[in-house]
Amino acid sequence: MLGAWLNKPVSIYPLVYARILFGILTFFSTARFMALGWVGDHFIESVVQFKYFGFEWVPLMPPGVMYGIHVLMLLTSLGITLGAFYRWSTVLFFLCFTYVELVDITYYLNHYYFVSLFALLLCFVPAQRYFSIDVWRKATTPCLHIPHWNLFLLRFQVFTVYFFAGIAKINTDWLLQALPLRIWLPAHDDLPLIGFLMPYPLTAYVFSWAGMLFDVSIIAWLLLPRTRLLAYLAIVFFHAVTGMMFQIGIFPLVMIGITPIFFSDGFHEKFVRGIRGVLRLRIPTETQTIASLPGSTKLQRMGFLPLLFVVFQLLFPFRYLLYPGNVFWTEEGYRFSWRVMLMEKAATAQFYVQDRATGREGMVVNQDFLCSHQEKQMAMQPDLILQYAHFLKKHYTKQGLKDPKVRAEVYVTLNGRPSRLYFDPQLDLGRLRDGWRHKDWLYE
């Protein structure tokens, strides 16, 4: 039953739309990243790179290689857009983009995670089988229909972003205290049309509840033909406002561009034929259904792999429930769970290094090792505090200190509350190890 539903033939047009828009958006994003000089700022000039747990082995490549990786991302984005050497383009883009994100965890963003997952899915779907250079050069057979699981997985991935962002907003700070919006909104009283509303506490409450309801329900409204247009207009308004208010890069453009994947087949057919008309291109008339082609892979007929992906995506964001305490305070299970703009958290971290042989202790100047962004992110995330402490221990051991003790006075404020100590300032951080277990050394 499930296998039949996943493999029933559906139109390839939405898949072609997703391929073209994703390629355009990632090309623009990569070009913007390079134009702003962020390759140098984030990687070339950095002294320390903070790693994801389990990916400490991912190295920072030499400057020429880092620039080359971003150029390759530009080229493969074009390949995705045009459907040119599609398998190579999707796989190489996924590997390059994901590698760049693994180099330094302090630059983690939810939409980067989304791009990696969406790129991974594109590696397995036949989005090049229509209106592509691969079809034009006869490297693949054109078709008008694909197994349903191809389109379902892409739509499901978009669904997870909104739905889990909405679920995460169901907490007392967001709904009952309108935090952190009560802190953020008054600073945006210069917005056109609605700026005069920003200083009022009621506005923060309205935005908080509306944001939660929007996120948990918007995909359902997109799926209904009667409400689809209004839902998309709401998406455009929502992301336009958040894009003007917060520095979240091209995330609003990504979601505005990708969410029409839920539109009707007719919309996507008009989109593709519109591009064809502008470019005066002829689309081959020979079409077949992917599942009936000799080149079909077993993956397209196997229901458990898409199901496994879906189950993982549904369960992984809830892993924070395995840990005690407030996830916003401990940040255990916080990443990769689509918690978008949910807290105002800031911290100061002063590190001290003591030579055990002499007892002499000195204060660390963080700016000697970290850029301002890294210091800000490190100070409020316990796993990064540990990484930095271990870096300092190794660094000062090389400077001649005997088994140096590394401790830190870290004060954290969450959603406007008074700052307080994060953990015992006498704790020897260099002797602690990171892992999946609860960080019981944090103060509650």
Tell me whether residue 33 is in a domain: yes
- Tokens of residue 183, six digits: 């802190």
Domain identity same for 289 and 407: no
Tell me whether residue 213 is in a domain: no
Query: In the listed set 290, 313, 336, which residue is the last one of a domain according to the structure?
Result: 313
Tell me whether residue 270 is in a domain: no
Assign residue 18 a region (left: φ > 0; alpha: ψ between -120 and 50; beta: otherwise): alpha
Query: In the listed set 313, 334, 369, which residue is the last one of a domain according to the structure?
Result: 313
Domain identity same for 139 and 47: yes
| % of residues, the chain, pLDDT over 90 | 81
Give pLDDT, residue 243.
Answer: 86
360's CB contacts (< 8 A; 6+ apart) are 354
Per-chain mean pLDDT for the chain: 91
Give pLDDT, residue 294.
Answer: 36
285-300 CB burial, b ≥16 within 10 A, e <16: eeeeebeeeeeeeeeb
Domain identity same for 21 and 89: yes
Tell me whether residue 225 is in a domain: no
Q: Provide the 10 A C-beta neighbour count for residue 142.
A: 20
Q: What proportions of the chain, in percent to the nearest 5, are helix, strand and coil?
A: 60, 10, 35
- Choose between 1 and 271: higher pLDDT: 271
Question: What total number of domains does the chain contain?
Answer: 2
Domain identity same for 414 and 293: no
Domain identity same for 28 and 101: yes
| pTM score of the predicted model | 0.93
Domain identity same for 292 and 358: no
Q: Could you read off the pLDDT of 194-214 as tens digits, one per residue?
A: 889 999 999 999 999 999 999
Domain identity same for 290 and 426: no
- Choose between 322 and 444: higher pLDDT: 322
Tell me whether residue 363 is in a domain: yes
Domain identity same for 298 and 352: no
Q: What is the mean pLDDT of residues 344-348?
A: 96
Domain identity same for 308 and 362: no
Tell me whether residue 241 is in a domain: no
Residue type at 362 in one-letter notation: G
Domain identity same for 426 and 292: no
Domain identity same for 306 and 349: no
Distance, CA of 297 to chain centre: 29
47: domain range? 1-165+282-313
CA distance linking residue 131 with residue 99, whole number of Å: 30
Tell me whether residue 269 is in a domain: no
Domain identity same for 1 and 119: yes
